[in-house]
Structure 1
Amino acid sequence: MRVAILTDEVGWHTRQLQQALRARGAVGRCVDLADCDIDTTASAHGLVIPGYGRGLPDAAIVRGVAGGSFEQVTKRLGVLHALQALGVPVYNEARAIERSVDKSMTSLLLHAAGVPTPPTWATESAARARRTAVREGAAGHALVMKPLFGSQGKGLQQVGAVDGTPHGEHRLLPDLADFGRLAYLQRFVPSADPGPGFDWRVLVIGGRAVAAMRRVSEHWIHNVAQGARTEAAELTPDLARLAEAASAALQMDYAGIDLIPSPGRGLGGGAVQVLEVNGVAAWRGLQRVTPFNIARALVDDLIDRKLAAAVPRRAARRA
């Protein structure tokens, strides 16, 4: 069995996946989507996947899609769409990645599915964004402005009532030119308890929550890439239920779900809300605090569920 690991960065995660694939009798080859071409003269299917000649892999695991121009990213996602259309199981599928990488679509789908998530606004109008920040600030709420396609906590800014009072410090909206001329705003969730704040990362594989950790930081941004430390966390039924509902709302094969407690009643002293859904989730920090073999679980789900379901469909296409 030949599995393409689609990634722009070879390292710890890809080695983990290759080891888990070998344990199942499969071979994982790292392929950069930027190196994949469409060539309708090269083969009947019209794709060129490095290392696979005129053929195609039996399955593909998406580990990373490099940024680039709109045209470059469109082509790379097009390759994922084409692989799926040709009967190659893609884990996660292109549509799922598109839903999760666009934070506004994530928020919209979570809201539509009834999954608790902070109030969110996305607008191309600077005037409407400023009015939202003023209105929320008058109610004592800060907002977090995020790059629509950002990751790892990069580029986040607080605006509005950053000290949590209507008449205190009010931080103005930054220039939208620095955010792709679009304002994606999410109501800031203050820490439920005194001391360092935290959120949870819950990993969902094949629709089932399998592991959790807390990301703890003195800063209001809790990403490990921004200096947060990881701690083992109990995967409670409530956390699992919310994470699984968030993954289902975006139709993910696997996902890293970020959840946060807020003041009130519930887990950790507050009601729990889903902040983000990560469709190409890293798991190195989570693996440090859990004995659960994450790469093996991902590969098992790909082979036993995704690939097994695709075999009859591929046979029908060939017929």
Structure 2
Amino acid sequence: MGKRIGVIGTPGKWSTEALADALEARTGYRLVIDMGRVTLDLTAGRLMYQGVDLCTLDGLVLKKIAETYSPDALDRLEMLRVAEARGVRIFSRPEAVLRLMDRLACTVTLAGADIPMPPTVITEDETAAAETLARFGSAVFKPLFSTKARGMVLLDHGAADTAARIAAFRAENPVMYIQQRVDLSGQDLGMVFLNGDYLCTYARVGQAGSWNTTIHAGGKYAPFDPAPDLIDLGRRAQAPFGLSFTTVDIALTPDGPIVFEVSAFGGYSGALQGCGVDAMALMADHVLAEVTA
């Protein structure tokens, strides 16, 4: 009998379904799991989804824990720890992902590993935020829980409505994460790793007139061939987190390369469209090797 491995993600979304396809082709078993419909019964020790106790599976692959990042998504990861405690292998481990979904937790870990990043200030004080903006000149105010630049605000020192916009941002984000805007030269990079091993690097080329390069904002994938020292930077950035699959976001600036963040779930579409690498197949092979070892 083949191994029973479920994919936690968004039913109907390409990357979730493609990963489930790759696992089904190898095992004959398919289960796509929407965590919003999972029930944890701690007394019975069961984690149920559509009649399946996830604690009885051989493995779970985390493609997406929620459509949008929020503190609620952290609770979903805590639920998965019950399955892990029952012996289910989870890729990546919930504890590792927990350290990445909060932008500040990721940043503090990267700083502790001496990874170069843009100048960053975190504060709840609007006066300190205004002083930081004056020092930076131009800065991106980022929510602690977001992906694809959602909720981010670009502010320039000296604008007439700066104080009001800082106040509006703080009303939605009591802890303000402020990062100096850097010159991306129209692109940034996604460096892909599987179980700590380097796979490939793709570029995200920004749309003309957009201050960020995300695909959500009209950016496009393109191939990129990094130098060995750049690959080493990406490897060092992802190493503290111990993820099964991840992408390190890197920018090449006039002052040298910097790391923005390490992705909790990685960029399967970027690897395929930008590098021609079928990361879903490679991930499926890795998971099966681990659960059968």
Give the TM-score band, short-chain normalised.
0.7 to 0.9
Which range is displaced more, 215-224 or 277-286? Answer: 277-286
* Preserved CA contact (<8 Å) 2:23 2:29: yes
Cα drift, residue 160 of structure 1: 3.8
- Distance of aligned partners of 1:151 and 1:23 in 2 relative to their CA distance in 1, 3 Å threshold: same
Q: 2:143 aligns with which of 131, 142, 147?
A: 147
| Deviation digits for residues 209-238 of structure 1 (CA, Å, limit 9, x no counterpart) | 201111111222000111011111114322
Cα deviation 1:141-162 (Å, max 9, x = unaligned):
x21111111111222222244x
How many aligned positions are there? 286
Whether the 8 Å contact between 1:146 and 1:184 is mirrored in structure 2 is: yes
Contact 2:195–2:242, Cα closer than 8 Å, also in 1: no
Q: 1:6 to 1:102 in 2, by over 3 A?
A: same
Q: Which amino acid aligns with 1:216?
A: V
Structure 2: which amino acid aligns with 1:303?
L
Equivalent position to 1:302, from 282, 287, 290: 287
Match of 1:203 in 2: 192
Matches within 5 A, 1:233-244: 233-244=224-235
Aligned equivalents of 2:71 and 2:182: distance in 1? 36
Q: CA deviation at 1:256?
A: 1.4
The answer to whether the 8 A contact 1:260-1:275 is kept is: yes
Classify 1:22/1:8 alpha carbon distance in 2 versus 1 (closer, same or farther; 3 Å): closer
What residue identity is the alignment partner of 2:252? P
Q: Which of structures 1 and 2 has the bigger CA Rg?
A: 1
Cα 1:251–1:119 change in 2 (3 A) is: farther
1:286 equivalent in alignment to 2:271: yes
Counterpart-to-counterpart distance in 1, 2:123 and 2:113: 21
Residue 184 of structure 2: aligned partner: 191
Task: For structure 1, list consecutive stretches of 5 or more residues without a partner in the other structure.
Answer: 162-167, 265-270, 310-319
Unaligned runs of 5+ in 2: none
Runs of 4+ in 1 over 6 A off after TM superposition: 68-71
Instruction: Find the residue that maps to 1:131 and give its secondary structure.
Output: helix
- 8 Å CA contact retained: 1:159, 1:170: no
What's the counterpart of residue 317 of structure 1? none
Alpha-carbon distance, 1:55 to partner: 5.3
Distance 1:88 1:308 in 2: 12
Equivalent runs, 1:258-277 vs 2, <5 Å: 258-264=249-255, 271-277=256-262
The CA deviation at 1:74 is: 4.6
Deviations 1:223-273 (A, max 9, x none): 011101111111432232122111112222211111001114xxxxxx111
- 1:34, 1:89 → 2: CA distance? 21
Identity %: 23
Are 2:271 and 2:277, in contact at CA under 8 Å, matched by a contact in 1?
no
CA distance in 2 between counterparts of 1:244 and 1:221 reads: 24
Residue in 1 that maps onto 2:215: 224
Task: Give runs of aligned pairs for residues 82-231 of structure 1, distance below 5 A.
Answer: 82-137=82-137, 142-161=138-157, 172=162, 174=166, 175-192=168-185, 197-217=186-206, 218=208, 219-231=210-222
Contact 1:3 1:26 in 2 (8 A): no
1:18 Cα offset (Å): 2.1
AA aligned to 1:245 is: R
Instruction: Select which of 6, 24, 27 maps to 1:25.
Output: 27
User: What's the offset of the Cα at 1:67?
Assistant: 5.8
Deviation at 1:53, TM superposition (A): 4.4
Residues 206 and 15 of structure 1: CA distance in aligned 2, closer, same or farther (over 3 Å): same
Q: Distance in 2 between matches of 1:169 and 1:275?
A: 26
Q: TM-score, normalised on structure 1? A: 0.81
Matched-pair contact (CA < 8 Å) for 2:22–2:281: yes
Q: Is the 8 A contact 2:92 2:243 kept in 1?
A: yes
